[in-house]
Structure 1
Amino acid sequence: MKKYILFFILGFSALLQAQHTLSGTVTNALNQPLQGVSIYSSELHKGTKTDANGKYRITNLPTKAIQWSYAHVGYATQYQNIALLEPETAVAITLQETIFEMDEVIVSTAFNKMQSQNVMKVTHQTIQELQQKGTATLMEGLATIAGVSQVSTGTSIGKPVIRGLSGNRVLVYSQGVRMENQQFGDEHGLGLNDAGVESVEVIKGPASLLYGSDALGGVLYFNPERFADAKTIKADFSQKIFSNTQGSNSSLGLKGTTENWKFLARGTYNTHSDYRIATGNRVTNTRYNETDFKTAIGYSNSRLSSVLRYNYNNLDLGIPEDGIAAQTTSKNTQFPRQGVSNQLWSLNSVLYFKNTKLDVDLGYVANDRSEFEDSSVAALHMKLKTYNYVAKYHLPKAGKLESIFGIQGMHQTNTNLGEEYLIPDATTNDFGVFGTAIYEWNNQNALQAGLRFDNRKINSTTHGTSGEEGYFQETANSFTSFNAALGYKTNIAKDLVLRWNIASGFRAPNLAELTSNGVHEGTNRYEIGNAALKTEQNLQTDVNLEYKTNHFEFFANGFYNHINNYIYTTPTGTVLEDNDVFKYIQNNAKLYGAEIGLHVHPHPLDWLHYQTSFETVTGKKQNGDYLPLIPANNWNNTLRGEFKIKKWLENGFAALTTSSTLNQNNVSGFETRSNAYTLVNLGLGGTIKLGKTTVNANLNANNLLDKKYIAHLSRLKTDGIANIGRNIVLGLRFSL
């Protein structure tokens, strides 16, 4: 790792050239200067704010065109691609007042376009927006996004589901690095904390063109916290308390930036007791404790922008087995429990040439997972180490055509240290090569296409005694796949955008599917793997219609997803170890559905918002049977008012939300049906100014009516255990 740091940060000092500067003035429509406007480049991780005269100045910049955002509360964010062809470049900006945030730069797609220019529809949400909903965990917040759900085990473990696909069919990226944490298991959570995360982008549908294997169903792409503005030092402290679990979440952050160097660090501690259901009882051993630490250091000059980040996350998770038993508010986990730690190193470097750039991401993820049954000695202990890389070369722009060529790879080892083996010791190697291009014309149309080739090799070792539980035979598997994507975006009328995409994706079978031989805890099934499994391959068509004005926005997304060789388990009719035996087999499958949403901001009631959205997905096998773990249809409605009280309260809001989940009767042969329910949530908050200190405050009451309900994708549903009851959440964030 050290040699990479030296290579990318120090090794290019010889490439320094004369400084280039961007400066200017930002005003409103009345030509009045705006103070505090944020000017920022996510590519350079560099920014500043305008002074009392609306002026700004940023130095030591590359000559290549860089996209800058100009953002201010109450105004529409502007994005400008600016090439600094002269040593001094002045750009004057006029911001227009608006209530809606009309646009965002999308980082997870190939060309980092604004959403209005993007060929693929990507959902973007800031973590602040999710936190204002008062959710207890990052995954719970993500599940409020249309098209995203979670497979949950109590309040501590949540796995993302995108349009009915989960597990190894959904990829998670953090700090620009692919997260690998044994995500094949339903009881294996996200492994991320929302502290130190700026926003999330959700790609709904196959994204194998950019991300390779396992992006069959979609991608969750987390953008890390921004550095401080140039030549500033900032600190903040946040505290959240949760009534239901008597929980606490504390986070402290510090960051500073010089002309070329930048630094940040953030520590977070999260602790919760067993959650309480609407009857007043607590679900035994759903308590958990989490420690999270993030830090980063960056360097940039006129030819290089480089950021090294590190994230340590440690989870102590109770595993509920006894349902509602001993009642306590202790936060010390009991047996059985999990101990999970993740260490994530990432190095992102962008090298700027005359008309091109090279973007390189290097990553290392170390996942250490232990399961303790009845003692402090781990019965199951697995260490997963993953090295990954991606390099994207942006070819010189040819008229209206932009193109990228890239390579991507991964080297991964899984090692067992405990007595029990869930999967064998194994090595996985990935290599992919891809190219994509976009052609834009008339500022209203864009056509994007791409091709990719991948190879994945999995080699596992022999373990155990033949014929007994836990025996794994040595395997050597190789999987190859060709994938393509084609998309078209057009403005069919003013403020009306149509997007159409068709893309393929693939997923190589995971180790559990290839090699399993034993009882899978939590399912009461004896599972047998299948070394002859083929690669899952899908083809999905998406259509997106989007209409936006200052007071009204509407979207409608429809999709059809066909999957060849869909992998699932089926009973064999035999019994081993007093458990029914299931074997992994394959069949073709299809998923189809839609998300529809409306946001109204009526004039002249500028303080009022009404938002509604509906999502539905259906999944079936080729024989007509329903797929498992398909979320129920959901309808959300939010009435939100925004206000300001003199000079001491800004960005105030009050919101009432109803979330109606319908009956889920379309279930697989191993699932039970789920009843409909409606939850009512209330939120209140704003920014309070106390002298030079600002406090962001949120007060939320989730499940306000203390409704007793069981979510369809809850892993505790088979035991008849309800989800969390009423939860009052108070959050305070102090900018120091």
Structure 2
Amino acid sequence: MTIKYLFSAMLILFIPVYLLANGNVTGKVTDAKSGETVPGATITIPQLRITTITDGKGQFTIKSLPNQGKYLVQVQSLGYKPMVKTIDFAVSGSLDFNLEPSSIETHEVIITGTPITSNNRYNSTSAAVVSREDLLAPSSNLIDGLSRQVPGVSQITTGPGISKPIIRGLGYNRVVTLMDGVKQQGQQWGDEHGVEIDQNQADRVEVLRGAASLMYGSDAIGGVINVLEPLAPASGTIKGEVLSSYSTNNGLSNSSVMLTGNENGFVWRGRGSYQNAYSFNTPGGYYINSGYNNTSFSGMLGLNKGWGYSHLNFSYFKDNIGFYDSDPGDPLYTGNGTSRSLDYPRQDIRQYKIALNNNFIIGSGSLKLDLGYQKNQRRELDEPTPALFFDLNTYSLDAKYYLPESNGWQPIFGISASDAHSVNKGTEFLIPAYDQTMAGAFGYIKKTWGQNTFNFGLRYDYVNNDGKQLFIDGAQKFTGFKNNFNNVSGATGYTHVFNDLLSFKANAGTAFRAPNPAELGSNGVHEGTSRYEIGNPDLKPERSYQADAALEFGKNIITGSLGIYENYIHNYIYASATKGDQITLTNDAGAQQTYDVYRYGQVNANLYGIEGNLNIHPTSFLHLDNIFSYTHAQNESFDRPLPLIPAGVIRNTLRFEPKVKGLSNFYISAGLDNYFKQSRIDATFETPTNSYTLVNASIGTTLKLGSQPLKLYVSGSNLTNKKYYDALSRLRPGRLSQEDPTYGVFNPGRNITFGVYLPFNIQK
């Protein structure tokens, strides 16, 4: 039975659980010191995907809830320390919360992307949460925004329009991006392919650093980016938002409109977004044809009832991106680059997605079931007809059954599967058409006693790849390949909360990643990278042995965390080049072009590093926030550094929040991004990058339009217009045929962003 038939069968099987009962809860939120009520506080139950706010008397009501089971409830309000409590819905009575006044950050955050939803202080996984407020900070895309705020996260870029996530030095198919409970399936293997997600969709993002293969399978050996959309509002409420921004460097305009509502448990959401940018400007001039534009539509229809929830999500994302097809010695900059028309060559990327997310309450346990279908299309065009055209269709299933908690023990069991089918519809070919089937099963248990938690899990994975043979004009283009891989992985973790000031967490385990079809079967010109890639059908799976540990500390004036990690990967896969290894091809016009040849191979690799943050709050209106990270990566087989490893970085931000009459949430901030020199490179095809410091600043406030808040901000980055090359920029100078040390494209220069954000509530 294929995944697409199982998709339908699983949906029909669990329809009867819809008949369970509903319940309502009421409560009140008060100030722990003064005893006064707190209007406008947000009450969230992430496991049930519902949220509400307190009224003018600090009271709230949440309808259509289960009448049994234990759930985490998070309460937040500006100026107070967030509170996370476990509530047993089988116990009747009012839910009253007493919030402690506070103006500083806290570790009291719920993480949903780990096997068991939990308070981050009692969760061993190294995780960070980026809120909606932080996501409004100027960025060209979602990954760009995360890399500025989360220690250990960086990005491989091809100008501002394309960013690929890197976590602790690992990227590509080693990092899973999750949206609507479904793994994003596109061309994760390629250098110049971004994440096909509208950055405006995210209400919050969870970043899991370190192997998450236990829950998400083979491709989560490096970590997970879990993108979460807005939760359903309280019954009888319609919420929405309008946002818009403009950036001066590349004329990036970003606009988005969203509405979401809840009518007696029937929930819905709709969003439309549009971005448009012309070529980005460096301190040396505009980079030719680097503009882009994307259009996105998404929506949700669902039910939130006492039996749980069922949400049907759908989205469409189209991205048009220009790129400059250059050779060494060609001019890289030209005149005024403010035209928004894209020339050839360019990419046309389209992502269609349907996801059905369910959480069925079964007695005191629950079954979480996510079904997905995605169509990913990538066209590379030198003219209106695409030369290279990938079409990938993926069906997926993920099911987890949560047994009732007993004496602090929380066990769950899960299965996952996917069925992918790729075809080539163009006239040029890079990788063969292929079929890929993946399946896995895991068991996980968590024990909590006192201030301690312990968890342990095992997982089995099976991956089958079938690459198709191809002949062109009688010559064999792809030999084809058939292989399958299987593996057992394990992980364990421990946390201990010493007191309000200090907590400790640690993890150890093994992870597994099967080689992907691009690594196994490539044989052609990768136009976006201007190189000829050759795969290796004899590649073996990567096997990771990983450990990490972290301390989280502080209260009031000083808070922070410090973490260390090591990850030894046996049979690490990457493409490398050797000087002189080239191929010359003749194009349709009869002209010849020479490409460097990159071949996929394997080595043993060791990556270790440090990451953390230190936040100092000498007063309620002054904050000094610092994040830092460093990764050391060694090719153990050839005793040289691994390629494409981020430089160490320290980011410092001083934020001043004075009380200004007539304004609320007024702030002024200034920051320095300090990047170290990256001389640990694979010198066969990389060049080092120098250290540099970027100066940033921002100012913002919130006004009132009636009862609705209107947030205004102005933010500047690289204010000194610094010339620099980032270590993970694909446009920086390289070796091989790019001998001229001046060849390369500087990262973007000065950029100032003007933004407006209007969230609103409509109470019936």
Q: What TM-score range do you get, normalising by the shorter chain?
A: over 0.9
Q: CA deviation at 1:414?
A: 0.6
Q: Which of 700, 710, 722 in structure 2 is aligned with 1:707?
A: 722
> Could you tell me which residue of structure 2 aligns to residue 328 of structure 1?
337
Where in structure 2 are the equivalents of 1:268-347 lying within 5 Å? 268-279=273-284, 281-322=285-326, 323-325=332-334, 327-347=336-356
- Identify if the C-alpha distance between structure 1 residues 90 and 678 changes in structure 2 by more than 3 Å, giving closer, same or farther: same
CA contact (8 A) 1:533 1:585 kept: yes
> Could you tell me which residue of structure 2 aligns to residue 177 of structure 1?
182
Matched, 1:126 2:131: yes
1:332-354 deviation line (CA, Å, top 9, x unaligned)? 11100000011121111111122
Structure 1: how far apart are the matches of 2:248 and 2:649? Answer: 26
Q: CA deviation at 1:475?
A: 1.4
Structure 2: how far apart are the matches of 1:537 and 1:166? Answer: 15
- Identify if the C-alpha distance between structure 1 residues 2 and 698 changes in structure 2 by more than 3 Å, giving closer, same or farther: farther
> Could you tell me which residue of structure 1 aligns to residue 745 of structure 2?
721
- Identify if the C-alpha distance between structure 1 residues 18 and 432 changes in structure 2 by more than 3 Å, giving closer, same or farther: closer
> Could you tell me which residue of structure 1 aligns to residue 458 of structure 2?
451
**TM-score with structure 1 setting the length:** 0.95
1:471 aligns to what SS in structure 2? Answer: strand
1:645 aligns to what SS in structure 2? Answer: coil
2:363 aligns to what SS in structure 1? Answer: coil
> Could you tell me which residue of structure 2 aligns to residue 518 of structure 1?
524
Q: CA deviation at 1:521?
A: 3.0
Q: CA deviation at 1:6?
A: 11
2:121 aligns to what SS in structure 1? Answer: coil
Tell me which amino acid in the other structure corresponds to 1:608.
Answer: L
> Could you tell me which residue of structure 2 aligns to residue 380 of structure 1?
388
Q: CA deviation at 1:464?
A: 2.1
> Could you tell me which residue of structure 2 aligns to residue 609 of structure 1?
623
> Could you tell me which residue of structure 1 aligns to residue 432 of structure 2?
424
1:435-479 deviation line (CA, Å, top 9, x unaligned)? 11111111x1111110000000011111125995x7111211101
Q: Could you list the runs of 5+ residues in structure 2 that have no partner in the other structure? A: 327-331, 585-593, 734-742
1:288-333 deviation line (CA, Å, top 9, x unaligned)? 0010111111202111211111121100100123421353311111
Tell me which amino acid in the other structure corresponds to 1:22.
Answer: V
1:361 aligns to what SS in structure 2? Answer: strand
Structure 1: how far apart are the matches of 2:65 and 2:712? Answer: 37
> Could you tell me which residue of structure 2 aligns to residue 692 of structure 1?
707
> Could you tell me which residue of structure 1 aligns to residue 271 of structure 2?
266
> Could you tell me which residue of structure 1 aligns to residue 667 of structure 2?
653
Where in structure 2 are the equivalents of 1:68-147 lying within 5 Å? 68-85=73-90, 88-102=92-106, 103-132=108-137, 134-144=138-148, 145-147=150-152
CA contact (8 A) 1:457 1:479 kept: yes
1:99 aligns to what SS in structure 2? Answer: coil
Q: Percent identity?
A: 34
Q: CA deviation at 1:652?
A: 1.9
- Identify if the C-alpha distance between structure 1 residues 466 and 210 changes in structure 2 by more than 3 Å, giving closer, same or farther: farther
> Could you tell me which residue of structure 2 aligns to residue 638 of structure 1?
653
- Identify if the C-alpha distance between structure 1 residues 8 and 93 changes in structure 2 by more than 3 Å, giving closer, same or farther: farther
Matched, 1:220 2:220: no
Structure 2: how far apart are the matches of 1:474 and 1:7? Answer: 34
Tell me which amino acid in the other structure corresponds to 1:28.
Answer: D
Structure 1: how far apart are the matches of 2:64 and 2:759? Answer: 29
- Identify if the C-alpha distance between structure 1 residues 329 and 579 changes in structure 2 by more than 3 Å, giving closer, same or farther: closer
Structure 2: how far apart are the matches of 1:479 and 1:73? Answer: 50
CA contact (8 A) 2:480 2:521 kept: no
> Could you tell me which residue of structure 1 aligns to residue 469 of structure 2?
462
Structure 2: how far apart are the matches of 1:400 and 1:318? Answer: 55
Where in structure 2 are the equivalents of 1:187-226 lying within 5 Å? 187-226=192-231
Matched, 1:358 2:358: no
1:512 aligns to what SS in structure 2? Answer: helix
- Identify if the C-alpha distance between structure 1 residues 644 and 261 changes in structure 2 by more than 3 Å, giving closer, same or farther: farther
- Identify if the C-alpha distance between structure 1 residues 40 and 580 changes in structure 2 by more than 3 Å, giving closer, same or farther: closer
Structure 1: how far apart are the matches of 2:652 and 2:252? Answer: 28
CA contact (8 A) 1:9 1:299 kept: no
Q: CA deviation at 1:596?
A: 2.9
> Could you tell me which residue of structure 1 aligns to residue 477 of structure 2?
471
- Identify if the C-alpha distance between structure 1 residues 414 and 159 changes in structure 2 by more than 3 Å, giving closer, same or farther: same
1:340-396 deviation line (CA, Å, top 9, x unaligned)? 0111211111111222111111111110110002x1000000111111111101123
Matched, 1:59 2:75: no
1:106-139 deviation line (CA, Å, top 9, x unaligned)? 011011101111121201111421322x222222
- Identify if the C-alpha distance between structure 1 residues 518 and 73 changes in structure 2 by more than 3 Å, giving closer, same or farther: same
> Could you tell me which residue of structure 1 aligns to residue 446 of structure 2?
438
Q: Is 358-367 or 44-53 further displaced after alignment?
A: 44-53
Q: CA deviation at 1:579?
A: 3.7
> Could you tell me which residue of structure 1 aligns to residue 588 of structure 2?
none
How many residues of Structure 1 are paired with residues of Structure 2 in the alignment?
727
Q: CA deviation at 1:227?
A: 2.6
Q: CA deviation at 1:169?
A: 1.4
- Identify if the C-alpha distance between structure 1 residues 18 and 321 changes in structure 2 by more than 3 Å, giving closer, same or farther: closer
Tell me which amino acid in the other structure corresponds to 2:757.
Answer: R
Where in structure 2 are the equivalents of 1:229-248 lying within 5 Å? 229-248=234-253
Q: Could you list the runs of 5+ residues in structure 1 that have no partner in the other structure? A: none
Structure 1: how far apart are the matches of 2:474 and 2:524? Answer: 11
> Could you tell me which residue of structure 2 aligns to residue 392 of structure 1?
400
**TM-score with structure 2 setting the length:** 0.92
> Could you tell me which residue of structure 2 aligns to residue 31 of structure 1?
35
CA contact (8 A) 1:284 1:327 kept: no
> Could you tell me which residue of structure 2 aligns to residue 568 of structure 1?
574
- Identify if the C-alpha distance between structure 1 residues 306 and 405 changes in structure 2 by more than 3 Å, giving closer, same or farther: same
Structure 2: how far apart are the matches of 1:47 and 1:302? Answer: 15
